[in-house]
Amino acid sequence: MALVKDILVSMDYGPAPEVNEPVVGWLDQHKDGFNHFIDGKFVAPSEGKRFPVFNPAYETELAQVAQGNAADVDKAVKAARKAFKSWSALTGHDRAVYLYAIARHIQKRERFLSVLETMDNGKPIRETRDIDIPLVARHFYHHAGWAELIESEFPGEGPVGVCGQIIPWNFPLLMLAWKIAPALAAGNTVVLKPAEYTPLTALAFAEICREVGLPAGVVNIVTGDGVTGNAIVEHPDVDKIAFTGSTEVGRIIREKTAGSGKKLSLELGGKSPFIIFEDADLDGAVEGVVDAIWFNQGQVCCAGSRLLVQEGVAEAVYAKLRTRMANLRVGDPLDKSIDMGAIVDPVQLKRIKELVAKGEAEGATLFQVNKGLPAKGCFFPPSLFTNVAPASTIAEVEIFGPVLVGMTFRTPDEAVAIANNSRFGLAASVWSENVNVTLDIAAKLKAGVVWINSTNMFDAASGFGGYRESGFGREGGREGMAEYLKPVTDKPLKADEKVAAKLSPLPVADDEISGLPSIDRTAKLYVGGKQARPDSGYSYTVLGPKGQPISQAGLGNRKDIRNAVEAAGKAGSWGGATAHNRAQVLYYVAENLSSRAKEFEARIVAMTGVSAKAAAEEVAVSIRRTFWYAAQADKFDGAVHATKSRHVTLAMNEAFGNMGILCPDEAPLLGFVSLVMPAIAMGNRVIVVPSSSHPLAATDFYQILDTSDVPAGVVNIVTGERDALAKTLAEHDDVAALWYFGSKAGSALVEKASAGNLKPVWANQGIPRRWTEASAQGREFLRRATQVKNIWVPYGE
Amino acid sequence: MPADGSTERKTPSTSNAPPLSNALKRNDGTPLQVDWFESAQVNTSAAERRAATLSTRRTVKKEYQAAWLIKAVTLMDLTTLAGDDTPARVHRLCMKARRPFREDLVEALGLQANPPKVGAVCVYPTMVAPAVKALEGSGIPVASVATGFPAGLTPLKQRLEEIHYAVGEGAHEIDIVITRAHVLNADWQALYDEVAAMREACGEAHLKAILATGDLKTLRNVYKASMVAMQAGADFIKTSTGKEDVNATLPVSLVMCRAIRDYEALTGFKIGFKPAGGLKTAKDAMSWLILMKEELGNAWLEPDLFRIGASSLLADIERQIEHFVTGRYSSTIRHALA
């Protein structure tokens, strides 16, 4: 024991170990190996295989955990399917009672779970105790609330079904909560696979499920590695996949689920900017950096890993950072005075070391504080790179470790340009005492979460999720619930399984030559506000209902799509126009459509052979629908989430930018209008491929656009083969979102092709819609035309 | 020199003065440098977040905790500033200052060779003489509040005279109050001149500038007032009189510590810090010790750079120390009244 008189001189903190006997005892109870949790029971792995789980701080084995295979996953999915029937039939209140009980039990076990998480993951007990586990309880409480309110807050929507959920190792139990709480609240059942490095708190959670009497099969937990995860992704009876993890694996999952009809949400990697302006509270910002990149050893998807500092204060900020880094304590994560614990696994440590070596090799200047680093265990010191440029590898790739890369900027514009110069778009942090600057930058950043004068703030009431290749879908808040709900349809139509016929550029032989033709009307493409001939120089013959040729349309190809996307990209001011202005333009479109209603009715009859009455209805609904989206343009508001006190957490609905839209064959005018109007009402620019078989209502429509003050490039129309053009759009990295209404095969094609930049795809899986009905209009279309940006604005003087 | 130059000067009595400072160079002050602070930014919520997590990021246990609590007592300005103070009351306080812990506890901690005593005793000017007498030979300095404490709105001449009086009575440290109006009106020159005059009036006695942060309201004001006081030659900056609605808080203390750090970087002078009012429990004391160690370093865990203004804090620490020694939770009746 150290002597008081000596401590009075050294004034050291001394050891402050968290007691871990209860957890050691629990692990000892399971020394024969953990099992899967399936159908309310702990079930041995079918092949009897287990793998070891380590404490990365001590490099000791903690437990042997079941290795799940396809048979185990199948058993779990069957249990979830069986449970779904009764679980989804419960009232929201009854489900709320279960979720409330889970929240309560997590609080009752908070220290046990904190210690277990720290031992399994290596993160400091300070974080598991003060951040992870309290947020877990908060998430279940919050979603007990959504369960209670489900009928009144989400009328017409129901659960998706069986959800397969695959979670990462950086916040093991918190990610479980983010997945399971909303799924259960909405009435889904789940099969969850925790990360192979950190499965233990999920197994402790399984015990809580039993303790609260959660019905068997509602929550199933299958442990294992990528093989197990793959079995979940590929299981035909899983209705939704929710994945949090690397962009690389997210891309594989996108490809594998393509065409399966599985709903998908991905929360992937990031390289989030942390921007410090010269008028920021620099000391406050330095503490922000600590919470941004040295929180959880930097193994945080939304870590502020790219430091952007205004040139005039860069040296001052770097100096303050170096001083602050010297005070960070790295060591035994169970010690209560530790700032940074262990890296989760030697594999991850190796990756961090390699990237840091690469940074040095590329000429960046490395600063590290190595004092007090334990000799044994997976530790890496807090690291700061300066002299970094956007072209450096370490500025581009996600390191997922305690490594900050520092760059400078001169002006706010340049800060935005560097910040957005990334394929990721998860989060950002902006520091300035000038409210104009902070809100301007927040609006311009491509990121799902923006923290002003703060960082890494989380709350169950706020949505979390990324733009761009950081994934799609949100977790938390109202927007997060949407991922686990779907519209309840009474009698869905049968899927269109047929493969679309190839369009021929050759003339159609027609027996009957009928006298003098009317003056030829040439349906062209419409790109950048101008009619354009197809790049190919070919047209295809549009046939009438009896197979007779009625006109020709341009046979658009990939270059036409390229041109259309470029034209759309130049129409960026549309998104910046006031919603009122956009509404005015849409009203004007409706007005002009109304004045030419007869012409469109005749065209619909000629193309499709429907009755005059049906054609009149299609046009009338098109006009009404355009009005409806005009009306919504300035009313599809965001929200202010109730998160922490003295915080405004703004959920803003933002347009994607360039959207690709593939129109259905049914209702050639109304299908076009029903998809284009919500998209442009929200501020998107669209590249539209009209129905291949009945394109003429859309090509007629560009005259309406021309006369209605629709700015050039906002709507671009490319006719041709839907699926060929769809593939080009799905692959295009400058198209941010895609709606596909066509065949089942086409749905699979676009979903797969979208994996390149991981754009969100809304594909109908070949199931036609009744476009004249109310279900073909509504907030779902607006929600799909926007992405939510959550901006956290703490205030106080 | 005071503005009117007419003040009658007593020669400060330093016969009983212990060394106030070890190897530290006393702050010379600087000319008023408005550019050092006029664009200073303090984000309140960021400061609050840092303050709130300081004591959750660090835990001090067992013998370390005992040592840290003993340290807190040695940093304490044991204070009585009440209208009913009498020489006898001050005498009682000084006796406690000399021997804050029961002898058996001191022995159990192995500190009998160098038993702990408080950092200073802090009283009103008319109580300085009894305090000096009661502390004779103890090496414990006497601090006196002055300058129209707590509001500081008596004429400057009288305020300076009060300093001379207290120093003449044998005070080694003078806790002055600033004119809050100068801060609220951003009249930095007036604030600078006032504190500089007070510093001069203090002579060898050390000047602790009470900013009365509860009246200044914003953390930016706190930062700016801290800077001006240091430029004007303050040896310590102190949060509060203990009489404002809000006294020492961790966010305010954090901002003052950062000002001290910045001033040292600019001038090389280390300035002391004294939170006062509101530190009542052993846990509070630990939070402030952690703040000093984290933000300024171990040098600010010694009485020449850190003091805690407190009256009831000692009683709580005594109970904690007894608990450490015996393993039993203690009662105040087992410890001598201050």
Strand A189-193 relative to strand A60-66: parallel, antiparallel, unpaired? unpaired
- In this prediction, residue B150 has a pLDDT band, given cuts at 50, 70 and 90, of very high
Give the 3-state secondary structure of A27-38: HHHCCCCCCEEE
Supply the Cα-derived Rg of chain A in whole angstroms.
Answer: 28
A281 interaction partners in chain B (CB closer than 8 Å): 41-43, 46-47
Are the beta carbons of A14 and B60 separated by less than 8 Å? Answer: yes
Q: Is residue B31 part of a domain?
A: no
Query: Looking at the partner chain, which of B45, B53, B294 has a beta carbon nearest the beta carbon of A454?
Result: B45
Q: Is B274 a catalytic residue?
A: yes
The verdict on A797 touching B (C-beta cutoff 8 Å) is yes
B45 interaction partners in chain A (CB closer than 8 Å): 453-454, 646, 794-796
3-state DSSP call for residue A757?
Answer: coil
**What is the structure's pLDDT at A144?**
98
- Quickly count: other Cβ atoms within 10 Å of residue B17's Cβ: 18
Determine the distance in angstroms separating the CA of B137 from the nearest CA of chain A, rounded to an integer. Answer: 23
Determine the distance in angstroms separating the CA of A454 from the nearest CA of chain B, rounded to an integer. Answer: 7
What's phi and psi for A120, nearest 5 deg? -80, -40
Q: Is residue B146 part of a domain?
A: yes
The helix, strand and coil proportions of chain B, stated in percent and rounded to the nearest 5, come to 50, 10, 45
User: Which letter, b or e, does each residue of A767-779 get, where b requires 16 or more Cβ atoms within 10 Å of its Cβ?
Assistant: bbbebbeeebbee
Between helix B156-168 and helix B188-202 the angle, nearest 10°, is 30
Are the beta carbons of B298 and A453 separated by less than 8 Å? Answer: no
Chain A to chain B Cβ contacts (< 8 Å): 100
Assess whether pLDDT exceeds 60 at residue B18: no
Are the beta carbons of A282 and B109 separated by less than 8 Å? Answer: no
Q: Could you tell me the residue range of the domain that residue B330 belongs to? A: 42-334
Tokens of A236: 């035909």
Are the beta carbons of B43 and A337 separated by less than 8 Å? Answer: no
Q: Is residue B36 part of a domain?
A: no
Assess whether pLDDT exceeds 50 at residue B19: no
Question: Which residue among the candidates A117, A148, A267, A483 is catalytic per the annotation?
Answer: A267
A274 interaction partners in chain B (CB closer than 8 Å): none
Report the C-alpha gap between A741 and A668 in whole angstroms: 12
Q: Is B333 exposed, middle or buried (0-12, 13-18, 19+ CB in 10 A)?
A: exposed
3-state DSSP call for residue A180?
Answer: helix
Spell out where A229-387 has E strands: 240-244, 263-267, 272-276, 304-310, 365-368, 383-386
Report the C-alpha gap between A570 and A579 in whole angstroms: 19
Query: Looking at the partner chain, which of A2, A5, A16 has a beta carbon nearest the beta carbon of B111?
Result: A5
Paired residues of A349 in beta bridges: none
Report the C-alpha gap between B279 and B286 in whole angstroms: 10
Query: Looking at the partner chain, which of B41, B43, B70 has a beta carbon nearest the beta carbon of A4?
Result: B70
> DSSP characters for A226-257?
HHHHHHHHH-TT--EEEEES-HHHHHHHHHHH
Tokens of A112: 């046990």
Give the 3-state secondary structure of A63-102: EEEECCCHHHHHHHHHHHHHHHHHHHHCCHHHHHHHHHHH
Query: Looking at the partner chain, which of B45, B46, B61 has a beta carbon nearest the beta carbon of A646?
Result: B45
Tally of domains in chain B: 1
Residues B194-237 have pLDDT tens digits of 999 999 999 999 999 999 999 999 999 999 999 999 999 999 99
Q: Is residue B181 part of a domain?
A: yes
Report the C-alpha gap between B143 and B315 in whole angstroms: 21
Residues B87-103 have pLDDT tens digits of 999 999 999 999 999 99
Report the C-alpha gap between A305 and A169 in whole angstroms: 19
Element holding A192 (H helix, E strand): strand A189-193
- Quickly count: other Cβ atoms within 10 Å of residue A18's Cβ: 22
User: Which letter, b or e, does each residue of B283-318 get, where b requires 16 or more Cβ atoms within 10 Å of its Cβ?
Assistant: ebbbbbbbbbbbbbbeebbbbbbbbbbbbebbbbbb
Question: Which residue among the candidates B96, B117, B270, B274 is catalytic per the annotation?
Answer: B274
Between helix A133-153 and helix A110-121 the angle, nearest 10°, is 110
| Residue A330 vs residues A122, A297, A326, A337: alpha-carbon distances, Å | 11, 9, 10, 9
Determine the distance in angstroms separating the CA of A647 from the nearest CA of chain B, rounded to an integer. Answer: 9
What's phi and psi for B174, nearest 5 deg? -120, 120
- Specify whether the CB–CB gap between A431 and A280 falls below 8 A: yes
B50 interaction partners in chain A (CB closer than 8 Å): 284, 287
Query: Looking at the partner chain, which of B57, B111, B258 has a beta carbon nearest the beta carbon of A4?
Result: B111
Query: Looking at the partner chain, which of A15, A130, A797 has a beta carbon nearest the beta carbon of B218?
Result: A797
Residues of B with CB under 8 A from a CB of A: 39, 41-50, 53, 56-64, 66-68, 70-71, 109-111, 113-114, 218, 258, 293-294, 298, 301
- Specify whether the CB–CB gap between A744 and A766 falls below 8 A: yes
Q: Which is nearest to A319 in space by CA: A286, A348, A289, A345?
A: A286
pLDDT-flagged residues of chain A (< 70): 509-518
What residue in A sits closest to B66 (Cα-Cα)? A4
Give the A window 257-316 contacts with B, CB below 8 Å: 279-285, 287-288
Tokens of A681: 């009402």
**What is the structure's pLDDT at A679?**
98
Domains along chain A?
A: 21-49+60-268 (3.40.605.10), 272-465 (3.40.309.10), 525-643+658-787 (3.40.605.10)
Give the A window 123-152 contacts with B, CB below 8 Å: 126, 130
Q: Is residue B24 part of a domain?
A: no
**What is the structure's pLDDT at A375?**
92
Report the C-alpha gap between A288 and A277 in whole angstroms: 13
Query: Looking at the partner chain, which of A7, A282, A797 has a beta carbon nearest the beta carbon of B63?
Result: A7
B111 interaction partners in chain A (CB closer than 8 Å): 4-5
- Give which of B42, B43, B60, B62 to mutate to test A binding, by max A Cβ within 10 Å: B43
In chain B, pLDDT over 70 holds for what percent of residues? 93
Determine the distance in angstroms separating the CA of B20 from the nearest CA of chain A, rounded to an integer. Answer: 18
The ipTM estimated for the assembled molecules is 0.94
Determine the distance from the C-alpha atom of residue A773 to the mean position of all C-alpha atoms in its chain, rounded to a whole number: 30
What residue in A sits closest to B113 (Cα-Cα)? A5
Report the C-alpha gap between A104 and A98 in whole angstroms: 10
Q: Which is nearest to A683 in space by CA: A571, A575, A528, A569?
A: A575
Q: Which of A542-551, B147-156, B283-292 has the lowest average pLDDT? A: A542-551
Does the N-terminal peptide bond of residue B150 adopt cis geometry, omega within 30 degrees of 0? Answer: yes
- Specify whether the CB–CB gap between A312 and A266 falls below 8 A: no
Q: Which amino acid is at A232?
A: I
CATH code, domain with B232: 3.20.20.70
Average pLDDT over residues B131-144: 98
Tokens of A194: 């925790």
Are the beta carbons of B43 and A453 separated by less than 8 Å? Answer: yes
Between helix B282-295 and helix B250-267 the angle, nearest 10°, is 30
* Sign for the pseudo-dihedral over CA of A481, A482, A485, A490: positive
B218 interaction partners in chain A (CB closer than 8 Å): 797
What residue in A sits closest to B71 (Cα-Cα)? A8
Alpha helices in chain B (DSSP H): 44-57, 62-74, 87-98, 103-108, 128-134, 156-168, 180-184, 188-202, 213-216, 219-231, 250-267, 282-295, 313-326
Q: Which is nearest to A168 in space by CA: A198, A191, A190?
A: A198
Supply the Cα-derived Rg of chain B in whole angstroms.
Answer: 19
Q: Is residue B32 part of a domain?
A: no
A778: CB partners within 8 A, 6+ apart: none
3-state DSSP call for residue A48?
Answer: coil
Element holding A283 (H helix, E strand): helix A282-293
Report the C-alpha gap between A354 and A464 in whole angstroms: 30
**What is the structure's pLDDT at A512?**
55
**What is the structure's pLDDT at A515?**
61
The overall average pLDDT reported for chain B is: 94
Query: Looking at the partner chain, which of A8, A12, A433 has a beta carbon nearest the beta carbon of B43?
Result: A433
Counted residue by residue, chain B has a size of 338
Paired residues of A553 in beta bridges: A523, A540
Q: Is residue B17 part of a domain?
A: no
Are the beta carbons of A11 and B68 separated by less than 8 Å? Answer: yes
Tokens of A345: 């696994």
Report the C-alpha gap between A25 and B74 in whole angstroms: 43
Between helix A696-707 and helix A579-595 the angle, nearest 10°, is 120
Give the A window 311-370 contacts with B, CB below 8 Å: 327, 336-337, 339
A734: CB partners within 8 A, 6+ apart: A565, A569, A658
- Quickly count: other Cβ atoms within 10 Å of residue B112's Cβ: 11
- Specify whether the CB–CB gap between A525 and A531 falls below 8 A: yes
What residue in A sits closest to B47 (Cα-Cα)? A284
**What is the structure's pLDDT at B221?**
98
Are the beta carbons of B39 and A433 separated by less than 8 Å? Answer: no
A287 interaction partners in chain B (CB closer than 8 Å): 46, 49-50
Paired residues of B32 in beta bridges: none
Q: Is residue B37 part of a domain?
A: no
What residue in B sits closest to A454 (Cα-Cα)? B46
Tokens of A435: 């409210």
Average pLDDT over residues B309-332: 96
